[in-house]
Amino acid sequence: MKRISIYDTTLRDGSQGEGVNFSLQDKLLITARLDQAGIDYIEGGYPLSNPKDAEYFRAIRDLDLKHARVAAFGMTRRRDIAPEDDTGMRALVAAGTRAITVVGKSWDLHVTEVLGVSLAENLRMIADSVAFLAAHTGEVVYDAEHFFDGFKRNPEYALETIRAAAGAGAAWIVLCDTNGGALPEEVAQAVTAVARECPTPIGIHTHNDGELAVANALAAVRQGARQVQGTINGLGERCGNADLCSAIANLALKYDGYDLLVPGALAHLTELSRYVHETANMNFRPNQPFVGSSAFAHKGGMHVHGVRKIARSYEHIEPEAVGNARRVLVSELSGRSNIAEKLEEYGLETAGDLGVRVLDRVQDLENEGYQFGAAEASFVLLVERMAGRHRPGFEPLGYHVSVGRAFQEATPAVTEATIKLKVGSVIEHTVSEGDGPVNALDGALRKALESHFPRLREMHLVDYKVRVINARAGTAARVRVVIESQDGDDVWGTVGVSENVIEASWLALLDAFEYKLARDAGLVAASRKA
């Protein structure tokens, strides 16, 4: 088995992506989670670039890492300055990491036009820097920046830069597609050439500007690269880096003969992906391969029919292999198989022609603008109502929402919601102010219901989405509101549709409360795949 080292640069290269910003605590938490997953190298940042990165390298010494080596990242020495006198070089050594990654120029264009030094001086800068760092740390990783562009235009000089780093004691030579424009066959050709010239182990670092970062990384491994650099979820500058989730899954599941991570880690890949998304305060990417919520979601009736018979007929791997799960979506494209699978997933009984009637009703509702793919709680309630099994916890009698503002400087608008409902024989009539209509309605519902159903205090709204359905109707267009709610046990989605956004919000909110009460009372079950 050939060992493939996984080098994660989420905390450095990934943090350069637009909208990505990690706090010091975020970086420490992600480091611990990456170590737990069996990542071999974790690039923590550039210690000279900002106080947070410098503090990270001090704080990381207190983490009890079981597997990973933390690497500090920096650039070669400056022109005409000895390494020991260069502040960047000294900062890398002072970081005290077990590995140091230093980046140098491989493309002659960058050497002469960007750095403004001679080709010979650049070679000296590479060799001097690597030799100095190798004398002060256990392992030097040399990142050959813009290697594939340089190799395409001046292959002999690009190879000279590699020889300079290898000869000075680099433990790894990492070939970087910094602009992200290389093709897999170009990567394969260049890696083969470097492997002939250089006995030092080779790594690959690719960017995704051509949507080929993972493909290029795999091409490099097939030609002898033994280290793959990338980021969790493909975070990074411009179009991002190679997504390690996809690279790891492909190497582990699609090829024979490669050993990576630690035993059992692959089954937690989806969990790792979502942890990084959450920590970065970013939305999940549903269609992300392997780990996205839609990666094994089936909507077309023919697909679901096939999956129910033989899962591999429409799935390239078992979802559980990467810690993901199969999902069946309900929509107007559904066939009976979708409905049957979804009812089975929730343990719902399907006596008589219920499945057929549910399918007909779903198709009618989706024609009106409803969507149940992200609102499965509303689907469950729909089934229970059609089956005559639903026992509502309360009866809504009416609501009123008003928005007003006193025209004084810095006075915000005030939203007030009044609701009237019936719980058993008790009439509740409550009012609440909020930041907006949904917040005010939520507050009024809670005032009316929490004394009767104390467990509603566990529930809170976590997401609210509005979508205009038939935009051509202008201001009279229908809107679809999807609300995501959460308690200590579950997350569920509900949907409402109306020409009036407040009415659509009210319908989705009512379903959210009804589902919570029904589940707490044991009248409906959470998904068996949750």
How far apart CA 108 and CA 113 sit, in angstroms, is: 8
Which residues sit opposite 461 in a β-bridge?
Answer: 485
The whole-model pTM stands at 0.73
The pLDDT score that the predictor gives to residue 354 is 80
How far apart CA 54 and CA 61 sit, in angstroms, is: 12
For CA atoms 30, 89, 206, 37, give the dihedral sign: negative
The DSSP-derived string for 306-332 is HHHH-GGGS-SS-GGGGT---EE--ST
Provide CB contacts within 8 A for 419, sequence distance 6+: 396, 398, 399, 400, 428, 429, 430, 431, 441, 444, 445, 448
Q: Is 374 exposed, middle or buried (0-12, 13-18, 19+ CB in 10 A)?
A: middle
**SS3 category, 365:** helix
The pLDDT score that the predictor gives to residue 363 is 79
The pLDDT score that the predictor gives to residue 113 is 96
Q: Nearest Cα to 297, choosing from 272, 260, 331, 249?
A: 331
Q: What angle do CA 57, 60, 62 make, to 5 degrees?
A: 135
- Tell me which residues of the chain have a pLDDT lower than 70: 300-301, 304-305, 307, 328-338, 341-342, 345-346, 348-352, 406-410, 471-476, 525-530
Provide CB contacts within 8 A for 130, sequence distance 6+: 102, 140, 142, 164, 165, 168, 169, 170
**SS3 category, 408:** coil
Q: What angle do CA 7, 10, 16 make, to 5 degrees?
A: 130
Residues in the chain: 530
How far apart CA 91 and CA 382 sit, in angstroms, is: 62
| β-sheet with 414-423: strand ranges across | 395-404, 414-423, 426-434
The pLDDT score that the predictor gives to residue 299 is 72
DSSP H/E element including 104: strand 99-105
In one letter, which amino acid is 320?
Answer: E
How far apart CA 398 and CA 391 sit, in angstroms, is: 19
The pLDDT score that the predictor gives to residue 294 is 84
pLDDT in tens, 174-231: 999 999 999 999 999 999 999 999 999 999 999 999 999 999 999 999 999 999 999 9
Packed helices 119-134 and 155-167: angle between N→C axes, nearest 10 degrees = 30
